[in-house]
Amino acid sequence: MPTIKIGGRPLVGRFLFGLLVLFSAAVGAAAGLLLVYSTDLPQVEELERYRPSSVTELYDGKGRVIGTFALQRRVIAAYDDYPDVLRNALVSIEDKDFYRHSGVNVWRIIGAAYRDLESGGKVQGASTLTMQLARNLFLSPDRSFYRKVQETLLAIQIERRFTKPQIFTLYANQIFLGHGAYGYEAASEYYFSKPAKQLKLEEAALLAGLPKAPQYYSPVTHPDRALKRRNLVLNAMLEDGKITAAQAAQARSKPIVLDLQKDPNSLAPHYVEEIRRYLEAKYGSDQVHESGLRVYTSLDTDLQKAARQSLLDGLAAYERRHGWRGKLANVIAQGEKIDKYADPDWDEDPEVNGYTHALVAAVSAGAAEVHFGRRTPTLSQTDVAWTKLKLADILHAGDIVYLKVLALDADGKAKVSLEQDSGTEGALVAIDNATGEIKAMVGGRDFNLSKFNRATQALRQVGSSFKPYVYTAVIDQGGSPDDTIVDAPITFQTASGPYSPHNYDGKFEGTITLRRALAQSRNIPALKLADRIGIHTVIDYAHRFGVTANIPAYLPVALGSAEITPLEQTSAFSVFPNDGVRVAPRYITRVTDYEGRILEEDYSDIKDVVSSRTARIMTSMLREVVLHGTAVAAAKMPYPLAGKTGTTNDFTDAWFVGFSPSLTCGVWIGYDEKKSLGAKETGARAALPIWMQFMNAALAGKEPGEFQPPPAEENAAVARKVDTPDVAPGDGELH
């Protein structure tokens, strides 16, 4: 026996020595592997300076969001911005031991690895929130053993350097949750149109279930899957004791109810695009789309809505006046299938009284089923009665039609009317007289169809809306509105030969005052005045008012052959109610970085254009246009208003630019190409009703104010002029 014991000692020693060698080798190998895997790890210290890319937001004058620029839709939130119900839901479904582990849940990893090895798959799953954060911030999404080790090492480092609330906040702001939303604050705003703080239990559970597979569990495209995933989260919360059985049962019984956030850029897309171009030129694309700038603009959301509605209603009225023209695009004829077609207008539900393109799915003798988005209304013969044609003769399956939405029901139904889009376009600009702030801008009928901004980029002949520059020059040089001039046939000798103009109505009124000549938009008096003071003088005055276009110096310019953008023409007219002072139009009042540091602040650019005497007299003369002239339709409006119509040859452009004591608005209607709007489509008929609808909405419930009266000595001069003898017809001199 003793011999065996003595002989066994070397065997035991050798065994222990072998174990020690193996252990040392394993430790060395592990250390070597860790060294290899950690050599190219990113520095966790970077997280202390890290801030994810965030949305640049544009605000209107009252702090309402009107647009965003971003590569990723993300709104940065603090830990306290995420309610307990959301934090509990996320931890229960993604990482039950989040507040207890040190970045890695070893037992979950071993269990997941065993299952993966058993199934022959790669190492995956079992990631803690910290590991997911490390992967999302620093690593590639590939599912390899190498990446998993790096993920684990990074998670441990993150846990050593940051608190649990800090880690949770970084994760909650970073994670992708579908439909372009990154982070739970952005997701809450997108899916439910409210901040995360206001989430209900069933809503928080829905969002907490999305990180696993945002596209697969999307409540927008796969509501059935989203519902099952939400209920799984609720069950996990119940198991963890975060909610009671009653709360879980009540939440599970509720359907998924979404309130998808409308794209803020859709309210004023042409306006927002102008700002984007400016910001990118000044700050660069990266800063604009990733740095979370705060851009405070001059726009007024309420006025913008009224402007868009007014323009679209006015275009619809014009289309109906000219009857059904047909020529509808047809998806079947283009080789597409009806069930595969999707229109850009369908990206969001239209509003009541809004306009949208729709697809005709089927047509019978007296009805047509149309689709837009999830809506499937039916058009009846009554809805197309204005065309004076039978429904079956004008609509066919596959046609793309233009509709006005009259009512929307929660069950997906809608009441609509058939409208028409023949290509007519328009623009509307509204400017605050005192500050120059652009309060509303519509650059065209449909931004999805054309990004061209007709309010700022379209140089169009302004017609008779140019005449106020002629009369301003005369008044500013000492003339009076009650001076007289003869409206009679005349021939001007010009460089290109004799020029014999005529009035719009083909008639002549003889001796009339300048006030009446402008109010009735008589052509002959305007040309005589321009000829007398010199067309160069008239053009100089137009430039003083802010018109930058190159205007050729020939006499017909006095009748509006000059091409000016709606923005410049509208801004120029704001000089009249502003006592002769021009305040340059502006979009932006202030720009700050994400922390609130001011990057730029815009102050009004102010310039004296004409004397207050001239401005007040011209305002009174333009007021006469509304009270007794070509814009008399606006006389019934209960506000002090003034302005000027404009119509070009062959009715290619229709204008009305007018103002109240506080607001100036300009409207243009026409085709993008030089094409007639049709006989008698004057500024008074095509543009003025749009202007009236907008101004009624803009001024409703507000103190309208009063125009400053002309100087007292001018009134005395008017009284003396009344007794002066008339001038014989044919005399073109001023009196």
- Catalytic residues, by residue number, are 94, 464
CB count in 10 Å sphere of residue 600: 13
* DSSP code string of 379-392: EETGGGGGGTS-HH
Q: Are 554 and 535 in contact (CB under 8 A)?
A: yes
* DSSP code string of 458-486: --EE-GGGGHHHHHHHHHHTT--TT-EEE
Phi and psi angles of residue 593, each rounded to the nearest 5 degrees, phi first:
-85, -175
Q: Cβ-count burial of 339 within 10 angstroms (0-12 exposed, 13-18 middle, 19+ buried)?
A: exposed
CB count in 10 Å sphere of residue 156: 17
CA atoms in the 13 A half-sphere facing the CB of 479: 25
Nearest residue to 669 (alpha-carbon basis) of 657, 691, 687, 645: 687
Q: What is the SS3 assignment for 370?
A: strand
Sign (positive/negative) of CA torsion 520, 526, 528, 532? positive
- Cα 522 to its chain centre, rounded Å, is 41
Pairwise CA distance, residues 268 & 291, whole Å = 22
SS3 track for 661-730: CCEEEEEEEECCCCCCCCCCCCHHHHHHHHHHHHHHHHHCCCCCCCCCCCCHHHHHHHHHHCCCCCCCCC
Q: Is 664 left (phi over 0), alpha (psi -120 to 50) or beta?
A: beta
Token pair recorded at residue 200: 């209900």
Q: Which amino acid is at 125?
A: G
In which residue are the tokens 């829905």 written? 206
Nearest residue to 440 (alpha-carbon basis) of 320, 341, 551, 587: 587
Q: Is 63 left (phi over 0), alpha (psi -120 to 50) or beta?
A: left
Q: In angstroms, how far apart are the furthest CA atoms of the chain?
A: 154
Pairwise CA distance, residues 122 & 144, whole Å = 7
Q: Is 151 left (phi over 0), alpha (psi -120 to 50) or beta?
A: alpha
Token pair recorded at residue 632: 């008399």
Pairwise CA distance, residues 642 & 629, whole Å = 10
Angle of helix 223-239 relative to helix 201-208, nearest 10 degrees, comes to 110
Q: What angle do CA 704, 707, 713 make, to 5 degrees?
A: 160
Token pair recorded at residue 248: 């879980």
Going from the C-alpha of 517 to that of each of 490, 541, 721, the distances in angstroms are 16, 19, 16
Sign (positive/negative) of CA torsion 351, 356, 360, 361? negative
Pairwise CA distance, residues 414 & 471, whole Å = 52
Residues 6+ apart with CB under 8 A from 17: none
Q: What is the SS3 assignment for 567?
A: helix
